[in-house]
Structure 1
Amino acid sequence: MSNSSLKRKRGSEHPYLSGNFAPVSKTHSSTPCTYTGTIPRELIGGQYVRNGGNPISNAQLGRDAHWFDGDGMLAGVQFKRSSTNPDDAVPHFVNKYILTDLALSSFENPRLKTPILPSIATLVNPVAFLVVIILRILRTVFLVLLSALPGSQHVIKRISVANTNILFHDGRALATCESGPPIRIQLPELDTVGWYDGTTAEGEMKSQGERDGKVDVFGGTGLFSWMREWTTGHPKIDPRTGEMLLFHCNFMAPYVHYSVIPPEKPLSAHLGLTRTLNAPVPGCSGGKMMHDFGVSQKHTVILDLPLTLTPFNLLKNQPIVSYNPDQPARFGVFPRRDPTQVKWFETTGCCIFHTANTWDDTDVTGDVTAVNLLTCRLTSASLVFSAGNLTPPPHPKHKEREEPEEDRRISFFSKYDEDDAPADLEKIPSNERTPLIASIHHTSIEDTDFAPSNPPPISIDDEEQCRLYYYRFSLISPTPMITHQYALSAIPFEFPTANPAYEMSAARYIYGCSTCNESFGAALGKATKIDVLAKMDVKTLLERGESSPPKNITGAVDNRSIVDILTSPPPPHPSDDDDPISLFRMPPHTYAQEARFVSRANPASEDDGYLLFYAFDESQLDEHGECTPDASGELWILDAKNMSDVVAKVRLPQRVPYGLHGNWFSEEMIGGQREVARCRAMPRTDEGEVGWLKRVKGGLIAALG
């Protein structure tokens, strides 16, 4: 039965289980694809892979759901060398579940109607009854205990769904998520190898020392070691040394631990890199929802923001995930290998989910004088709520609207300053075909969008914003001082990426996602409902900020809106003929996902390369807002230098649901992977008679739903 039929039968219209947010159930081994255009030679032999949530137990479509939920599924396109011409490529699509402990248990127990873990929407809902939250948690605990009974094929030892990101370090592709350690994936087949503990991965050939248990691992030892191995979804890989830097966050003091894992063979052998594992970061204020952090060549920046994540919130009659805008945003800056020297900087409260780049300023002697951070800064936690189909709480600086909503749909991120910023209503017509936005009036493009009965609750407050933001932390002032803090542009900006070779240094260009929709809060909160890709010339914008500083905290260097940039010629700048902001707008009905930069083989400049991203045409949705059975997606390859030419489109055998983060893996990475002894396998589907214990277990699982 299709998702559409299920939805109508059960009366459910949950937006995160509908349209191209709905999970796919079919997986593909390497399948050749057709394409139009020309595949760049730099891509031949490599593979683009993107991670995202795709719930296995999905029979109850009326349940709580959140965009951050779901079992991890990888979707990749490998550009295999042609057998007839090695200079040509044949794209091959592959998608597979990440076989975590939770995924294996879900496949083993098909009578489960809902995921094993409680939805994030349940944990953040401010009106959820305490007893409901506790019952959901106890259900998870009970299912974990059932997995340990005799006869179970796989015991749940770790509760990560590994659905956030995928990266490459020291011969291993690693999928990540905050609720557990990374898990190794074998490229290009996307098979699951096993959990990575900071030294080795399950399923690998281990050294004698590792077999003897003489090597430290994530989390260390002790009663709460399983919590201390929870790892950020965004580990950083130093392009110069090959080191992987991570933090581990939980709700027990000291709250954050920190690790630096050098490769066995450093990219620069003379560096003498040292290994740091589970080092506590002193001064963190509590259990927080930390998703990302910043790393320069010599320093690390931890983000201690007023978005808490701890079960102890329940004792204060607050959700497990709670935002307190009255508390400050705190940034802990410390030398890469010594978190004991952390300096804490405080400023106005905000939310940050993704950093764009971090770099050092040095004096003539080479000493670091300041650390710079570019990040996607949100002025509230509305994303956490709207991504769970929950009504966001009002912004603390919320102003009553002077005009009716139907007459004045203000952008979620429309302006910073009531006095300084221009009115930014971002009125370019939208062409969205989705159950997530109510009826939209189109003025220039004929459309037949349906008007769903359940648009998600979204904020349309002037004070709600998400922009590319600049911080500068002085390391030479007598007291911790943030000397610069303002936005580079007034346009919405999220899911940043840069040329990997320039990360952790003063990269000139940052790419990211934006939208023409009148409410970017709706677009971002619903996931990557992105119809604009943006390119920021950071160097030029920072120079303009120095020559004409914007208002501290609330100002922006460039106050133009999406409309201004797309429809008007750039303002004259005698010192710079080029506009520092370039935009690529998707065609009507078509939405992009996060893009990744891939450089040309011999680049003439930092931005000489391509952006790879999945795209989906929502005109494939039916009258109920559901994807048709034959709906398919594409992988687009965009010229990153001119931001206008789509050099190739790869037609996929099926759609790729809107998901999270991806990465590019070169032919050298794929060929240089560490040896694998075994990969995880799907559970057996034994038929016929079963033992009484298995029947009892199945009955309990069916009762739990």
Structure 2
Amino acid sequence: MSIIGRKRKCDPKHPYLSGNFAPVTKIHSSTPCTHTGTIPPELFGGQYVRNGGNPVSNSDLGRDAHWFDGDGMLAGVFFQPSSSNPNEAIPNFVNQYILTDVCMSAFEHPSLRTPILPSIATLVNPLSSLIVTIFCIFRSLFLTLISHMPGSQQAIKRISVANTGILFHDRRALATCESGPPIRIQLPGLETMGWYDGNQAEGELDEVTAEKKEEVLGGTGIVSWMKEWTTGHPKIDPATGEMILFHCNFVAPYVHYSSIPSTSHDARVGLPKLLNAPVPGCSGGKMMHDFGVSSGHTVILDLPLTLTPFNLMKGEPVVSYDDSKPSRFGVFPRRDPSKVQWFETDGCCIFHTANTWDELDSHRSTVAVNMLSCRLTSASLVFSAGNLPPPVRAKPKTTQKSRPMSFFAPYDDDEIADPELPSSEKTPLISPHHPPLPEDADEEQCRLYYHRFSLTSSSPTITHEYALSRIPFEFPTLNPAYEMSAARYIYGCSTSNESFGAALGKATKIDVLVKMDVHTLLHRAELSPPKSVTGCVDTRNISQVLSSPSPHDEIQAFKMPDGWYAQEARFVACQNPTSEDDGYLLFYAFDEGQLDDEGECKLDAVSQLWILDARNMRDVVAKVTLPQRVPYGLHGNWFEEGKIQGQRGVERVRSMPIVIGEGEETVWGKVKRRVIGWVG
């Protein structure tokens, strides 16, 4: 047994390894599903796919675990057109592991009790000893070295688990994660092909031989493997087809930047490829999950959340947050990061941007860059998603009443819920063995924020910075045709639960979907400007928003039925839209009435895919019942029929490794199995 992550049998179950957070072990090839309602014709021939962590090595349920951990697993619904009726489509469910190097090595060695890579919870926990942290890191290095020994079926050349997002660029579906380059996936079967290097992906037919000698992601040199580490949220320009990415590492210049044009026939001709360009001025190694991209500019987020092993030399966790330091935003022309301007404001965390757009004057010159983001007032998400209490703030503030809060609960001082109210949630809470949360946790917020970066001021100035609404808001989406422009509508996730259970790390339990009319809210702000940084345009709480009778309210909300929880939604436009919001929101839904008395999913628990009218935010036009549940996960996407049919050719895909029985092992195989069993 591993010496890491042991817990007594009497300890409560880890909430991110329990209930519908627990991984599934069964994979499905294309499996027909039943449905109710009417499937919109816009979905025919397309596929909704969602990514998320699903650890292969999971026998030690008392180990450190984090919601962002786990081997990537894709869960998709393909709307196969009916061969007998052109007005119908048959939804088919498919789920597959993303066969990264790490995932395949884990399957090759079923004796592993814990994942090959250390948990983010270990890296962020200030209570983890230096010895434990170093042991976990060296264990990963050791298992990586073992994978390169003779007899191994898959050498670990890249440590990415590819468990964050999935997108489509230049006739390829690509799964993403910060710890490596994108990896190509074949739709609709969700087979894994191989790593994408900025020119082509492993396993492709040799269609781009002329580009083979070009520079690749990461370039060359001793630290080139770190420069492959790509954001989980690359951006695709809907007008040009470009893919814009950045790459973080631990050594200066810390952030590199790439812009890769599309070679498809409908892409703009003549755009240059830019790979691995340094972004000067970043303050250090960062845990940087997302960024902003407009039609002409890019915004890099240099926030006070560091990610570097050099923190260990200062007695700090590998991932550390310092709210005494400012948040910095680097704005530069999209193809020239050397011209970056740095803007500073109060310390905060931002994991997701919602949209970014340029503001032009009468001469079509850019005078400002505008950005909407899901702004958190602390890094509590990083800790609560690992079942850890956030550290005490460097600058404590006085509050009327203290209560433990997560990043996603409502944080309104005038409406503090009684923490002793009964909760219907069955999933376990934060371990009572952890120290209490800080007294100033009432100051937590996660709201949709507006930032305006002036490009005409004598010095870099953020002229506007405030929340559009006081309600919690995360996991944003919008009509993809309006990305990088002044979109009117932004959709996202919220919660109505202020119970003690919601406060203790239930950030991911989504029971409200929200639609915000950004244009109307910004117009209101012009008439009555909110207080900078701390102010918000609409001051209603979620209950007041839900009770609004107006179908034209600038904030509309859809409440899930009691006991049901949603996941991140994706917007799919109608075929001939009459407005920007003419379309549907697709998301997975789960009924927690399927949990037993101990908060675990019953064996026959299933999830559904819901299709919600995005215009009225009321009508669920169809529900697809899946053959199994889909764990609460991260980010998904919609792939229309033309993209699926127009994918690049495939020469080979990755396959599961063969597990060799004990009686069939070589001498070295026996030694390796025993060594791997010893390290856990």
Q: Normalization by structure 1: what TM-score?
A: 0.92
Q: 2:444 aligns with which of 442, 447, 464?
A: 464
Partner residue in 1 for 2:196: 196
The residue identity in structure 1 corresponding to 2:290 is D
Residue in 1 aligned with 2:484? Answer: 504
Task: Report the CA distance between 1:566 and its aligned residue.
Answer: 1.6
Q: Is the 8 A contact 1:428 1:563 kept in 2?
A: no
What residue in structure 2 maps to residue 446 of structure 1? none
Counterpart residue number, 2:279: 281
Whether the 8 Å contact between 1:411 and 1:461 is mirrored in structure 2 is no
CA contact (8 A) 2:107 2:659 kept: no
Distance in structure 2 (CA, Å) of the matches to 1:262 and 1:66: 35
Contact 2:300/2:329 (<8 A) preserved? yes
Q: Which amino acid aligns with 1:333?
A: V
How is 1:109-124 mapped onto 2 (pairs within 5 angstroms)?
Answer: 109-124=109-124
- Residue 365 (1) aligns with residue 363 (2): yes
Is 1:700 matched with 2:652?
A: no
Among candidates 444, 463, 481, match of residue 461 of structure 2 = 481
CA distance in 1, matches of 2:388, 2:447: 23
Cα distance between partner residues in 2 of 1:312 and 1:624 = 41
Matched, 1:294 2:292: yes
Does structure 1 retain, via aligned residues, the 8 Å contact 2:408–2:507? no
Instruction: Give the aligned residue type for 2:66.
Output: H
For 1:480-629, what aligned pairs fall within 5 Å after superposition?
Answer: 480-518=460-498, 522=502, 525-526=505-506, 528-569=508-549, 578-629=552-603
Aligned residues, how many?
A: 673
The two structures have a TM-score, normalised by structure 2, of 0.95
Q: C-alpha distance in 2, partners of 1:155/1:683?
A: 12
Matched, 1:138 2:138: yes
* 1:194-236 deviations in Å (ceiling 9; x for gaps): 000100000012257458x411100000011000000000000
Q: Does residue 72 in structure 1 map to residue 72 in structure 2?
A: yes
CA drift of 1:325 comes to 0.3
Question: Residue 455 of structure 1: CA displacement?
Answer: 10
Deviation at 1:686, TM superposition (A): 3.4
Taking the TM superposition and a 5 Å limit, the aligned residue runs for 1:398-477 are 398-399=396-397, 402-403=400-401, 412-415=409-412, 423=415, 425=417, 432-437=424-429, 461-477=441-457
> Using the alignment, how far apart are the partners of 2:85 and 2:624 within structure 1?
19
Mapped contact 1:412–1:462 kept (Cα < 8 A): no
Do the aligned partners of residues 403 and 507 (structure 1) sit closer, same or farther apart at CA in structure 2, a change above 3 Å counting? closer
Cα offsets for 1:253-282 (capped at 9, x unmatched): 00000000001136354x521110000000
Pick closer, same or farther for the CA change 1:231–1:403 going to 2, 3 Å.
closer
Cα deviation for residue 11 of structure 1 reads 5.4
In structure 2, what residue type is equivalent to 1:35? H
Displacement of 1:425: 4.8
Cα distance, 1:515–1:430 mapped onto 2, change above 3 Å: farther
User: Could you tell me which amino acid in structure 1 is paired with residue 660 of structure 2?
Assistant: D
SS of 1:702's equivalent in the other structure is helix
Measured in 2, the distance between the counterparts of 1:399 and 1:481 equals: 27
| Number of the residue aligned with 2:241 | 242
- Structure 2 distance, partners of 1:208, 1:484, is 46
Check 1:414–1:523 CA distance in 2 against 1; reply closer, same or farther (3 A cut): closer
Q: In 2, distance between residues paired with 1:402 and 1:663?
A: 42
SS at 2:664 equivalent: coil
Is the 2:407–2:445 contact (alpha carbons within 8 Å) kept by the matching residues of 1?
A: no
Distance 1:29 1:306 in 2: 43
Distance 1:404 1:344 in 2: 36
Q: Distance in 2 between matches of 1:645 and 1:142?
A: 53
AA aligned to 1:697 is: K
Q: Which runs of 5+ in 1 are unaligned?
A: 1-5, 439-451, 571-576
Does structure 1 retain, via aligned residues, the 8 Å contact 2:406–2:506?
Answer: no
> What is aligned with 2:3?
none
- 8 Å Cα contact 1:162/1:182 also seen in 2: yes
Structure 1 position 526, deviation (Å)? 4.0
The answer on whether the counterparts of 1:399 and 1:461 sit within 8 Å (CA) in structure 2 is no
Q: Distance in 2 between matches of 1:660 and 1:247?
A: 20
Q: Which residue number corresponds to residue 324 of structure 1?
A: 322
Aligned to 1:264: 263
Structure 2 CA distance for partners of 1:123 and 1:566, relative to 1, 3 Å: same
Q: Work out whether 1:48 is the aligned partner of 2:78.
A: no
Q: Which residue in 2 is equivalent to 1:314? A: 312
2:649 corresponds to which of 675, 688, 692: 675
Structure-2 change in CA distance of 1:597 and 1:404 (3 Å): closer
Letter in 1 for 2:542: I
Q: Retained in 1: the 8 A contact 2:469–2:540?
A: yes
The percentage of counterpart residues that share the same residue type is 67
Match in the other structure for 2:631:
657
Provide the rounded CA distance (Å) in 2 between the counterparts of 1:345 and 1:684: 53
- Letter aligned with residue 162 of structure 1: A
Give the aligned partner of residue 147 of structure 2: 147
Q: Deviations over 1:67-90 (max 9, x none)?
A: 000000000000001121122000
The secondary structure found in structure 1 opposite 2:373 is strand
Corresponding position of 1:444: none
Aligned to 2:508, the other structure's residue is in SS state coil
Cα gap change, 1:456/1:642 in structure 2, threshold over 3 Å: closer, same or farther?
farther
Q: 1:521 to 1:529 in 2, by over 3 A?
A: same
In the other structure, the counterpart of 2:386 is: 388
Instruction: Give the aligned residue type for 2:224.
Output: S
In the alignment, does 2:81 pair up with 1:89? Answer: no
* Secondary structure of the structure 2 residue equivalent to 1:248: strand
Code of the aligned partner of 1:307: L
Per the alignment, in what secondary structure is the counterpart of residue 600 of structure 2?
coil
Q: Secondary structure of 1:247's match?
A: strand
Structure 1 residue 301: deviation in Å? 0.3
Whole-angstrom distance in 1 between the partners of 2:644 and 2:8: 44
1:529, distance to aligned residue in structure 2 (A): 0.6
Q: SS at the partner of 2:491?
A: strand
Q: 1:34 to 1:544 in 2, by over 3 A?
A: same
Give the counterpart of 2:666 among 691, 699, 702: 691
Deviations 1:104-134 (A, max 9, x none): 0000000000000000000000111001000
1:557 and 1:567 map into 2 onto residues whose CA distance is: 18
SS at match of 1:701: helix
**Could you tell me which amino acid in structure 2 is paired with residue 702 of structure 1?**
G
Aligned counterpart, 1:449: none
Instruction: Give the direction of change, closer, same or farther, for the CA distance of 1:210–1:21 in structure 2 (3 Å limit).
Output: farther
1:652–1:10 CA distance, 2 compared to 1 (3 A) = farther
Structure 1 distance, partners of 2:285, 2:659, is 41
CA distance in 2, matches of 1:456, 1:74: 36
Structure 1 residue 400: deviation in Å? 5.5
Q: Distance in 1 between matches of 2:504 and 2:375?
A: 13
1:232 alignment partner in structure 2: 231
What is the rounded CA distance, in whole Å, between the counterparts of 1:31 and 1:281 in structure 2? 46
**Contact 2:381/2:406 (CA < 8 Å) preserved in 1?**
no
Q: Give 1:3's aligned residue.
A: none
Give the match's secondary structure for 2:117.
coil
SS in 1 for 2:132: helix
Query: In the aligned structure 1, how far is the partner of 2:636 from the partner of 2:233?
Result: 11
- Greater CA deviation, 164-173 or 390-399? 390-399
Counterpart CA distance in 1 for 2:108 and 2:147 is 10
> What stretches of structure 2 of length at least 5 have no aligned partner?
1-5
- Taking the aligned partners of 1:274 and 1:550, their CA distance within structure 2 comes to 42
**Residues 192, 110 of structure 1: CA spacing in aligned structure 2 closer, same or farther, 3 A cutoff?**
same
Note if contact 1:412-1:521 (Cα within 8 Å) is conserved in structure 2: no
